[in-house]
Amino acid sequence: MSFDPRMLTFNDAGLIPAIAQDARSHEVLMLAWMNAESIAQTLASGDVTYWSRSRQQFWVKGATSGHVQKLVELRFDCDRDCLLVLVEQTGPACHTGRQSCFYTAVREGETVELSQPIDD
């Protein structure tokens, strides 16, 4: 069966959450948003393209930073309302310079910073 983005469940703004995961290490890198067109662009180009809610425009990951995400595989969950984007990540995924946006944990009621920015 061929893929059709209309089989997905988008929110009222026409968006669907997309979790980016490193295809090799399986580390969760970030959460962003996609719409039907950004999904189509990603599948056509292999360069992961998100929808920036703050800028209201397409955002090709790494277009300005060089920290690109190449698509390995696109998956969706059982409810078809969330995406898992398996990627080959070049450089840090987080705008803070860290490998993952999920670098803060709560341990024994305290927040703990798990990683420092990566030096390019």
- Cα–Cα distance for residue pair 110/108, rounded to 1 Å: 6
| Torsion-angle region of 89 (φ positive above 0: left; ψ -120 to 50: alpha; else: beta) | beta
Domains and CATH numbers, the chain: 5-91 (3.10.20.810)
Over residues 6-55, the pLDDT tens digits come to 899 999 999 999 999 999 999 999 999 999 999 999 999 999 999 999 99
Task: Determine if the pTM surpasses 0.85.
Answer: yes
Residue 109 clears pLDDT 60, i.e. is over it: yes
Taking each continuous run of H as one helix and of E as one strand, the counts in the chain are 1, 8
- Label residue 120 by pLDDT band (50, 70, 90): low
- Written as one string, the DSSP assignment of 57-101 is EEEETTTTTS--EEEEEEEE-TTSS-EEEEEEE-S-SSTTS-S-S
Q: Is the pLDDT of residue 62 over 70?
A: yes
Give the pLDDT confidence score for residue 5 in this predicted structure.
87
- In which band, very low, low, confident or very high, does the pLDDT at 1 lie, cut at 50, 70 and 90? confident
